């Protein structure tokens, strides 16, 4: 049986604590998440599924982008005739690049663009919805069900939670093409039939200095929904509000709260990770770094524990243990530790591990 040995325990305890300011929002549901780590910094009824309106189109957009077909030309079909509400006014037979159509989808919330994209990519909206739900499951959205590609809720209802939409927003924020599109304030398109000039409906891009993207939504039943992204001093955030009549003020308050109280710290650096003593000295590595947002008072509550196997030998790049990070006694991260090269332990290495 393999014996587990604790190699070292690192405790951060070097700054004075500070108070975290209180925060209250008007949204029925809200979630503020740091996208690098996935940590929730603020929540209000975050797991309750609600109608989400046009923030549905975040999923439609990422599926279009990940199809790797953005340069293909889409011919608009008769399905566009069934769309109403916010449209970009596509015409039957009009030809437009998929990339340009995604801009219309996200900047102007084109319901017609959403349906045309769905039919183009999967042959029917029903099959596209299946792909939307499959992607939601992949991301970990447990309280989400999509029934259409646009978010209109008079016939079918798309529902999600603030937390699930924050997960989706965190996922898409790592896609450069997506962030380029939703961070664009103005976009022009020329098709075979007409010219378009679109201004982004997301007002936060102009209202808040650190805003970098997002998507608006509204139906009478859902109320105003909003997903946005902001970035400052290495802290990457996303905010989600569902049914909030004061959404832009809410998002600014959420971001101000986070930027004032949290900083992103690198707790594990894969380039500096090492074991300082014993058989595994300078022979262990991790494959990825780990960063986490912390308040000043939380920094002295972080502990890093490395547990390595105490058996006789290992192969190069073989798993030899784990590194575990806790915050105030609660585990927040766990990863595998690997051996740098094939090793067989000497008699003295075995003696050392026994007494360790």
Nearest to residue 13, comparing CAs of 215, 352, 251, 298?
Answer: 298
- Give bridge partners of residue 166 from the DSSP assignment: none
From the candidates 86, 109, 170, 173, give the one annotated as an active-site residue. 109
From the candidates 29, 37, 54, 291, give the one annotated as an active-site residue. 54
From the candidates 57, 135, 299, 303, give the one annotated as an active-site residue. 57
- Give bridge partners of residue 230 from the DSSP assignment: 211, 237
Torsions phi, psi for 78 (to 5 deg) = -70, -10
- Give bridge partners of residue 42 from the DSSP assignment: 32
> 118 is written with which tokens?
């769905």
Whole-number Å distance between alpha carbons of 272 and 253 = 37
The answer to whether residue 18 is catalytic is: no
The answer to whether residue 289 is catalytic is: no
Long-range contacts of 285-290 (CB under 8 A, 24+ apart): 285/337, 285/338, 285/339, 285/340, 286/323, 286/335, 286/336, 286/337, 286/338, 287/335, 287/336, 287/338, 288/335, 290/37, 290/266, 290/325, 290/333, 290/335
The answer to whether residue 169 is catalytic is: no
Catalytic machinery residues: 54, 57, 109
């Amino acid at each position: 049986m393999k014996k587990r040995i604790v190699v070292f325990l690192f405790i951060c305890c070097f700054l004075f604590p500070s108070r975290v300011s209180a925060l209250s929002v008007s949204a029925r549901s809200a979630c503020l998440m740091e996208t690098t780590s996935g940590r929730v910094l603020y929540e209000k009824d975050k797991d309750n599924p609600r109608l989400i309106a046009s923030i549905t189109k975040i999923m439609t957009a990422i599926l279009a982008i990940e199809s790797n077909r953005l340069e293909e030309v889409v011919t608009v079909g008769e399905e566009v005739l069934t769309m109403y509400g916010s449209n970009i006014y596509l015409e039957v037979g009009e030809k437009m690049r998929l990339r340009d159509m995604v801009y219309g989808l996200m900047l102007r919330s084109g319901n017609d663009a959403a349906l045309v994209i769905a039919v183009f990519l999967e042959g029917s909206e029903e099959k596209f919805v299946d792909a939307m739900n499959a992607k939601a499951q992949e991301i970990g959205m447990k309280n989400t069900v999509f029934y259409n590609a646009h978010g209109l809720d008079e016939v079918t209802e798309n529902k999600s939670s603030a937390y699930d939409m924050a997960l989706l927003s965190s996922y898409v924020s790592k896609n450069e093409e997506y962030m380029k599109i939703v961070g664009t304030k103005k976009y022009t398109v020329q098709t075979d039939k007409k010219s378009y000039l679109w201004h982004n409906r997301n007002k936060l891009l102009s209202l808040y200095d650190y805003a970098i993207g997002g998507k608006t939504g509204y139906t009478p039943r859902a109320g105003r929904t909003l997903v946005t992204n902001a970035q400052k001093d290495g802290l990457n955030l996303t905010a989600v509000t569902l049914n909030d009549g004061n959404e832009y003020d809410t998002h600014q308050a959420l971001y101000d709260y986070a930027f004032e109280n949290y900083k992103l710290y690198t707790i594990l650096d894969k380039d500096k990770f090492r074991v300082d003593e014993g058989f595994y000295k300078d022979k262990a590595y991790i494959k990825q770094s780990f960063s986490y947002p912390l308040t000043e008072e939380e920094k002295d509550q972080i502990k890093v524990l490395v547990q390595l196997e105490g058996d006789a030998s290992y192969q190069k790049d073989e798993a030899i243990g784990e590194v575990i990070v806790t915050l105030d006694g609660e585990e927040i991260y766990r990863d595998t530790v690997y051996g740098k090269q094939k090793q067989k332990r000497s008699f003295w290495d075995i003696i050392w591990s026994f007494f360790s």
